[in-house]
Amino acid sequence: MAYGAAIPFLTFEDVSYRMNGRLVLQGVSFALEQGETLVLLGRSGSGKTTALRLVNRLLPPASGKIFLEGQDIATLDPIALRRRIGYVIQDVGLLPHWTIAKNVGLVPRLEGWPAAQVEERVNELLRQVDLPPEEYGLRYPHQLSGGQRQRAGVARALANRSKLLLFDEPFGALDPITRHELQRQFLDLRDRLGIASLFVTHDVSEALQLGTRIGLIEDGKLGELMTPDEFLKSEQVEARRFLDTLPVSPRRPE
Amino acid sequence: MIWRSLLRDIGVLTAEHIFLVGIACLVATVVGVALGIAGTRNPRLRSVSLTVASILQTIPSLALFGFLIPIPIIGGIGMHTAILCLILYALLPVLRNTVVGISEVDAPAREAAVAMGMTGQELLRFVELPLAAPTIMAGIRTAVVTTIGTATIAAVIGGGGLGVLIFRGVASVDTLSILAGAIPAALLAIAADGVLNWVERRIRTGRSGPRV
Ligand SMILES: Nc1ncnc2c1ncn2[C@@H]1O[C@H](COP(=O)(O)OP(=O)(O)OP(=O)(O)O)[C@@H](O)[C@H]1O
Ligand SMILES: [Mg+2]
């Protein structure tokens, strides 16, 4: 891109969304650089999922603009846009009539990759999320545990080597050990490939660990973005409320 | 001698009956599924088509056959009027089950498919139709079984089929003739139900098992 780093990777400009006459998102603005992870932290119903769904045009904003690599997404073809964004939806949403392997290979197949390449990519991803393809590839979603399905959902989102990931509580149903492992892999992947992500979570320690910046959403309004260190020292009421949920006084893991 | 000719009548009329039902259900399936799909994209079309199909089904069949007789081109006496009538009856179960089957597709699965970048066509082909297939198949089964029964009335307007034997029997108080029409019709319905039920179960278990 001609302007190099001058153009942020993903920008929200005063974005609002209205559902049944009620403002679900209000004047949301932020800019995200390549390789950054913006954690959206907020209570249930605060508008986090809605914010993600605006990015891949599952929902149209009532007002405001969203730019991806300098392009107004409203001017892009929604199908092509969605295929270049990896999305882990909150309810996972694997196709029940497809095997895990077929689910994970969905976007590459839609994109017309050769079959052998799809298979190779699927196997690589399944190993990455600790679902060995020999054992899990040919199973159907209902033959997996909730956490295993969630990991398959993560693998599917990574399949097309997207530069932007939308993660809606992707590790919610996992035991702490597996979650920790996937969080580490996530950090590794992000740093290696410079992937930008919007990461939704309720979990403060996850937010502190994964976010390069943290944005609090309260009733559809996004506060100033904070680094994890700033967040820890924040005096904002909602931030304090979240920090108070931590069992011990938090220390940023290195 | 009487038996031989009766048997021949049964054979010919059963074939005719199957033909009537087959054509009617084939057309009803194509139209019903297409209309159902269109209805899931257009709420207005969906409510209008379901309402019309429901109303059609409440008209007593004898009356519907009667209504169509005086109408030029599409109506009149004969097999084509009978088939048209049967199509109108068979439409509702297919249409309704298509709409229900598609709208019952697991919402997160549908959302994920759209979010991953499926086009409307891909969504229909890879997700909605395969997942709705057992429900649609159940609608087709209902349509076929009821049409086999309704088609016996087609004889009234010269549509042929096993109804010919039944009406002949009624007119001449000949129980044998009534049974010669009614029993094959009943057997046909039972057989169709069994076969289509088997197909439906196969589609269902072939892939998903219980929904997640
Ligand atoms: N289809 C819908 N119709 C009406 N209101 C909706 C719909 N979807 C979401 N909402 C409302 O919009 C608001 C924001 O919802 P959203 O799903 O973005 O919340 P969230 O922050 O993701 O919550 P959670 O953490 O529980 O997933 C909520 O008040 C919700 O009730
Ligand atoms: Mg949500």
Q: Based on the number of CB atoms within 10 Å of its own CB, is B209 exposed (0-12), middle (13-18) or buried (19 or more)?
A: middle
Is-contact A137 B170, C-beta < 8 A?
no
Is-contact B178 B155, C-beta < 8 A?
no
Residue A64 has pLDDT above 90, yes or no: yes
Q: From B189, B190, B96, select the one nearest B135 (Cα to Cα).
A: B96
Mutate which of A15, A49, A201 for ligand 1 pocket (most atoms within 8 A of beta carbon): A49
Per-residue model confidence (pLDDT) at position A1: 44
Domain boundaries, chain B: 2-206
Residue A2 has pLDDT above 50, yes or no: no
Topology (CATH level 3) of domain B2-206: MetI-like fold (1.10.3720)
The rounded Å distance from CA B53 to ligand 1 centre is: 37
Nearest CA to ligand 1 atom 6: A19
Determine, for residues A142 and B208 on separate chains, whether the beta-carbon distance falls below 8 Å.
yes
Residue A4 has pLDDT above 60, yes or no: no
Type and span of the H or E element at B144: helix B129-150
Nearest CA to ligand 1 atom 24: A44
Per-residue model confidence (pLDDT) at position A70: 92
Q: Is A57 contained in some domain?
A: yes
Helical segments of chain A, H only: 48-55, 78-83, 100-104, 106-110, 115-128, 133-136, 146-158, 176-193, 204-210, 228-233, 237-243
Q: How far is CA A113 from CA A80, A105, A128, A160, in A?
A: 15, 10, 20, 10
Is-contact B159 B82, C-beta < 8 A?
yes
Mutate which of A23, A50, A53 for ligand 1 pocket (most atoms within 8 A of beta carbon): A50
Question: Is A57 in the B-facing interface, judged by CB distances under 8 Å?
Answer: no
Rounded CA separation B129/B126 (Å): 7
Is-contact A63 B97, C-beta < 8 A?
no
Q: Looking at residues A50-75, what average pLDDT do you find? A: 96
Per-residue model confidence (pLDDT) at position B206: 57
Residues on chain B touching A149 (C-beta within 8 angstroms):
212
Q: Which residue, among B116, B126, B211, B212, would best test binding to A if mutated, counting the most A CBs under 10 Å from its CB?
A: B116
Which residue does chain A place closest to B112, by CA atoms? A93
Ranges under pLDDT 50 in chain B:
208-212
Residue A174 has pLDDT above 70, yes or no: yes
Is-contact B165 B154, C-beta < 8 A?
no
Q: How far is A80 from chain B (nearest CA, A)?
A: 7
**All residues at 6 or more sequence positions from B60 whose CB lies less than 8 Å from its CB, including other chains:** none
Per-residue model confidence (pLDDT) at position B159: 87
Percent of chain A clearing pLDDT 90 (strictly above): 79
CA within 13 Å, CB half, A253: 12
Q: Is A47 contained in some domain?
A: yes
Residues with CB under 6 A from ligand 1: A 19-20, 24, 42, 44-50, 90
Range of the domain at A131: 10-243
Nearest CA to ligand 1 atom 2: A19
Rounded CA separation B4/B2 (Å): 5
Per-residue model confidence (pLDDT) at position A226: 95
User: Which band of pLDDT confidence, cut at 50, 70 and 90, is reported for residue A250?
Assistant: low
Q: Is A2 contained in some domain?
A: no
Q: Which residue, among A81, A95, A140, A162, would best test binding to B if mutated, counting the most B CBs under 10 Å from its CB?
A: A95
The rounded Å distance from CA A50 to ligand 1 centre is: 7
Per-residue model confidence (pLDDT) at position A251: 52
Cα Rg of chain B, angstroms: 20
Rounded CA separation A241/A220 (Å): 17
Per-residue model confidence (pLDDT) at position B166: 93
> Looking at the partner chain, which of B112, B119, B208 has a beta carbon nearest the beta carbon of A140?
B208
Per-residue model confidence (pLDDT) at position B203: 86
Question: Is A97 in the B-facing interface, judged by CB distances under 8 Å?
Answer: yes
Per-residue model confidence (pLDDT) at position B207: 56
Residue A36 has pLDDT above 50, yes or no: yes
Per-residue model confidence (pLDDT) at position B210: 42
Is-contact A55 A39, C-beta < 8 A?
no
**All residues at 6 or more sequence positions from B23 whose CB lies less than 8 Å from its CB, including other chains:** B83
How do residues A88-146 score in pLDDT, each as one tens digit? Answer: 999 999 999 999 999 999 999 999 999 999 999 999 999 999 999 999 999 999 999 98
Q: Is A55 contained in some domain?
A: yes
Give the CATH number, domain containing residue A146.
Answer: 3.40.50.300
For strand A196-201 and strand A37-42, is the pairing parallel, antiparallel, or unpaired?
Answer: parallel
pTM here is 0.87
Q: Please give the tally of structural domains in chain A.
A: 1
